[in-house]
Structure 1
Amino acid sequence: MSYEPPRPAGRLLLTPEDREAPARALRLRGLGLGPRPEPALDDYATRLAVHTASPYAMVNLLDEDGQFYAGLHTPRTGPALPDGSPGPVIGRRLPRDHGFCPHVVVRRKALVLEDVCDYPRFAGNPVVDEFGIRSYLGAPLIDTTGMVLGTVSVADLTPRPWGRTGLETIKATAADLTARLEGGTR
């Protein structure tokens, strides 16, 4: 009789395993992208934030070490804490278990969360408690080789009815940005 260790009861795998991370890191390096800010991608994120009226917009590249926002638009200060002081600001690097982009990468499909608290799998994500994120809209950046390079996404501190228009916008944005990244024009 063989021994099997006990399995945690009722525990969800919150962050999916990303088996393509090593190959993605190589592909990103081949495209001249890495874990460093790209001013053109910051501009791209800012235009997306303005277009969607979102306080946060990101171009997220994922590798073996986690997530890196090569393009980032955030409010100047983080969400207010209960005492009224400004809360933490999202930085350029996040662990894989923070946020929703790792789910988009592994699923290879856009993700629309109008209110993250409506989804038990996502409601306990650290970005909900640490940064106050309540809604998310993201799409994968899938290049011509079929590799998911990362994501483009927006997030808000309040629930948002993104709807079909939001989904179409983020998917079109992902397709446009992927073409730019592969073509070397950011």
Structure 2
Amino acid sequence: MSTPVPHSQYDPTSHLLLTPEDSDAQARVARLREIGIGNAPVPEFDEFARHLAHVTNAPFSMVNFIDESRQYFAGLYAAGRPGVELQPESQQPPVGRTMTRDQGYCPHVVVRRKALVLEDVCDYPRFAGNRVVDEIGIRSYMGAPLIDWKTGISLGTICVVDTDAHPWGRAGLETIKSMAQQLVDQLYVLEDRGRI
């Protein structure tokens, strides 16, 4: 017989909002250090993010690497705001190159190791309650994992977001998956040259 949970501790929707458990976090951090990904923007990744935004017709794009406690945007593009943070039109504080692991959808992509397309996050109860919806105004998301073929670890993501619902469609999914592979290839080239 199960013990009843006190009402004050019970939230029937809490399982929908949790950031997924990440068993690869320590191995990912070690590999990112080995590659040379740290706390500095990578100009090539900023340019990649700009191109990704253009190809997908999205106002915001990121190259995102994830450790045990946070996400770091080594590549960032914000339409009309080159070199600055994502900042909603509301008076909410801007989001810079880092976010906690419970903000956004990239941690789900990393753990699932699969692309994720949310044309309107409000259509998905699991994702609609995420902090980025209210804090930043994110309404749609599309991301794909960056799988390190040397270790099999998902190192991070590339993603695009919009403050409006965005019909990414099958073409968008194929594009983001293909471009994720291109970014992994670029990552290895930069690693080999010691340029990260």
| Fold in common (TM above 0.5) | yes
Match of 2:174 among 160, 164, 168: 168
Any residues of structure 2 matched to 1:83-162 within 5 Å, and which? Answer: 87-144=92-149, 145-162=151-168
Whether the aligned pair in 2 keeps the contact of 1:142 and 1:149 (CA below 8 Å) is yes
Report the CA distance shift for 1:151/1:5 in structure 2 as closer, same or farther (over 3 A): farther
Q: Distance in 1 between matches of 2:124 and 2:130?
A: 10
Distance in 2, matches of 1:17 and 1:136, equals 21
- Indicate the percent of aligned positions where both proteins have the same amino acid: 56
CA displacement, residues 28-49 of structure 1 (integer Å, 9 cap, x when unaligned): 1111112221111111101111
Secondary structure of the corresponding residue to residue 122 of structure 2: helix
Residue 9 of structure 1 and its aligned partner are, at CA, apart by 4.3
Deviation string for 1:32-71 (max 9, x for gaps)?
Answer: 1122211111111011111111111000000112100000
TM-score after normalising by structure 2: 0.85
For residues 183 and 79 of structure 1, the distance between their equivalents in structure 2, rounded to whole angstroms, comes to 35
User: How far 1:5 sits from its partner (Å)?
Assistant: 8.1
Contact 1:113–1:137 under 8 Å retained in 2: yes
Mapped partners of 1:37, 1:132: distance in 2: 24
Distance 1:170 1:162 in 2: 10
Say if 2:89 is the partner of 1:80. yes
Stretch moving more, 109-118 or 174-183: 174-183
Taking the aligned partners of 2:39 and 2:188, their CA distance within structure 1 comes to 17
Displacement after TM superposition at 1:169 (Å) = 0.4
Rounded Cα–Cα distance in structure 2 between residues aligned with 1:5 and 1:93: 39
Q: Which residue in the other structure is 1:42 paired with?
A: 46
Matching of residue 65 in structure 1 with residue 72 in structure 2: no
Q: Which residue of 2 aligns with 1:23?
A: 27
Looking at structure 1, the residues matched to 146 and 76 of structure 2 have their Cα atoms a distance apart, in angstroms, of 16
Deviation (angstroms), 1:78: 2.4
Conserved? CA contact 1:74–1:89, under 8 Å: no
2:15 maps to 1:12: yes
| Pairwise CA distance, 1:90 | 2.5
Counterpart check, 1:184 vs 2:190 = yes
Aligned residues: 181
CA distance in 2, matches of 1:25, 1:42: 21
Q: TM-score, normalised by structure 1?
A: 0.90
Retained in 2: the 8 A contact 1:143–1:179? Answer: no
CA distance in 2 between counterparts of 1:15 and 1:48 reads 26
Bigger shift: residues 3-12 or 68-77: 3-12
Shift of 1:4: 6.0
